[in-house]
A and B are shown apart, each in its own frame.
Chain A
């Protein structure tokens, strides 16, 4: 029973990180129709810039606060100069462009910070372990499990109650109609892409003390967040939440219960969902 609960906590803490990343991916897809292959690289960049700011300032919180806006600023450049000329073209070309950006960023990180893995210690407040279920468990993971739903509620409130949130949902539902009633879509697109990148980088900065920071972390996470977004339904916010929890739990339980095939489990789930409900669990009810 204790092992079961520990697995649940492990699954939820990774699931909450996945949720942040997938939330950005799904918002960008929902509003802009762009599936961003470089999203995992932005996540990784968030982790590295947080690490760098931590080295300079000595505080994790400064990295967490200032790192994601840096990545968001970079993504404004990507959207404005690279993606914008491609909106009229086939969706495959947007995917290919972000694939190129991914190769560029992944290798760029390797040049700047080297191929080695870095360990980031959680801030003092969240370091150490607590005793729950007669086992010791890292505080930081519990922090993630609590933080995830809080961020989720904040995003939900933003999308439901604020003017910007409503504009975003309107644009996600019907881009042309939003444009006709006076939403300035080009600026909206830039903002949405930067917002998605900010979420990815926030996930990356929060992931830094959770796992080691290395040049392969983006490649790993992009596939998992693709799966989350597809399972939940592309463009669906509750879908991203449920999908992330499912994938997080699948990860933690798969590793302990089915170590031989646990790598394949997310892909099996993905294909089953795509073939039975192509629009995902929450698709079509944005």
Chain B
């Protein structure tokens, strides 16, 4: 086990090093793809704090993702043209939303939790879709000016793909670091304990609901940040970002990579995009293949690609 944790430190450092130097030798196309992978990684990891660590399957995570996107764009359109203001709007907005919705959702678990989060997510979707005067309806909300970032005495334009890539890399790394701290803390232990046996957690004196609510809010805020980056990345916040099928993407990526490892969903996001890239070269109907892959993974490799690989490694030791 000790070897394994040393191994994971080394491999995570290598991964970070690769991500830092990747823009030097990658083409612009792949830099943009990598940016999207990193954003979706943060989104999927936020989902997995609930699914993998707390045992709550949320089908409404896209609601917070999309809401974060809309809050950021609304701030850019009506407030100061500042990246920090936009991110702050996404954080505060998704935090308030996830406190309110989470407070109601954590009363239930298992399938009821999945359906309740689906319901709330779709309510947010309907608001984004129908409140035309504020959200632009089905057209989405675009036409904002991408802010420039002042860093010491440089002014950095985010419209350059490389600059945006480094912003996303920094935010996603911070988010992953935060999640790592959370799951390693006593609180993280409580989350896993609540997943295994929530009655017992109640008996030993911890409050399952408030433990779950805190996890829900952390996940909601991280999803909101990812959504804000996604809206800036695409230059538009659109209702599709809140639809339950978008939540399904986070589910897919997490299952692909593995729900038991912190960066599993990130690996899943990378596999997702590479598969999409490869399969759409041959056919436009790539969902049929993704569906088949999901079925095989659930049946044979429920720990996902990364989880299964780690299993094999640790068995050898």
Residues of A participating in the B interface, judged by any CB pair closer than 8 Å: 35, 82, 85-86, 89-93, 95-97, 99-108, 110-111, 219, 223, 226-227, 230, 234, 260-261, 263-264, 267-268, 270-271, 274-275, 278
B130 touches A223 (CB 8 A): no
Q: Which residue of B57, B244, B286 is within 8 Å of A95 (Cβ)? A: B57
Q: How far is the CA of A106 from the CA of B287 in the complex (A)?
A: 8
5 A-B pairs (CB sep. < 8 Å) = A101-B295, A264-B122, A267-B120, A268-B123, A278-B108
A103 touches B294 (CB 8 A): yes
Residues of B participating in the A interface, judged by any CB pair closer than 8 Å: 51, 55, 57, 104, 107-108, 110-112, 114-116, 118-120, 122-123, 126-127, 129-130, 244-245, 248, 251, 255, 285-288, 290-295, 298-299, 302
Residue of A nearest to B294 (CB): A100
Knowing A91-B111, A267-B122 are in contact, say whether A97-B287 is a contact too (CB < 8 A): no
Knowing A95-B114, A100-B292 are in contact, say whether A263-B120 is a contact too (CB < 8 A): no
Q: Which residue of B115, B248, B299 is within 8 Å of A85 (Cβ)? A: B299
Q: Which residue of A90, A111, A268, A278 is within 8 Å of B112 (Cβ)? A: A278
B298 touches A100 (CB 8 A): yes
Q: Which residue of A35, A92, A93, A111 is within 8 Å of B288 (Cβ)? A: A111
Question: How far in angstroms is the closest Cβ of chain A from B119?
Answer: 4
Q: How far is the CA of A82 from the CA of B57 in the complex (A)?
A: 20
Residue of B nearest to A222 (CB): B244
Question: How far in angstroms is the closest Cβ of chain B from A220?
Answer: 12
Knowing A35-B111, A230-B115, A268-B123 are in contact, say whether A92-B57 is a contact too (CB < 8 A): yes
Knowing A91-B110, A108-B288, A274-B112 are in contact, say whether A99-B248 is a contact too (CB < 8 A): yes
Q: How far is the CA of A274 from the CA of B60 in the complex (A)?
A: 15
Q: How far is the CA of A105 from the CA of B287 in the complex (A)?
A: 9
Knowing A261-B126, A270-B119, A278-B108 are in contact, say whether A100-B285 is a contact too (CB < 8 A): no
A-side contacts of B122, CB under 8 Å: 223, 264, 267
Knowing A107-B285, A264-B126, A264-B127 are in contact, say whether A99-B251 is a contact too (CB < 8 A): yes
B-side contacts of A86, CB under 8 Å: 298-299
A275 touches B104 (CB 8 A): yes
B295 touches A100 (CB 8 A): yes
A-side contacts of B120, CB under 8 Å: 267, 271
- 9 A-B pairs with the lowest CB-CB distances in the bound complex, closest first: A103-B291, A104-B291, A100-B294, A107-B288, A264-B126, A107-B287, A100-B295, A270-B119, A267-B119
Knowing A95-B114, A96-B251, A97-B299 are in contact, say whether A263-B126 is a contact too (CB < 8 A): yes
B-side contacts of A270, CB under 8 Å: 115-116, 119
Knowing A82-B299, A108-B288 are in contact, say whether A274-B111 is a contact too (CB < 8 A): no
A278 touches B107 (CB 8 A): yes
A97 touches B298 (CB 8 A): yes
Q: How far is the CA of A93 from the CA of B297 in the complex (A)?
A: 10
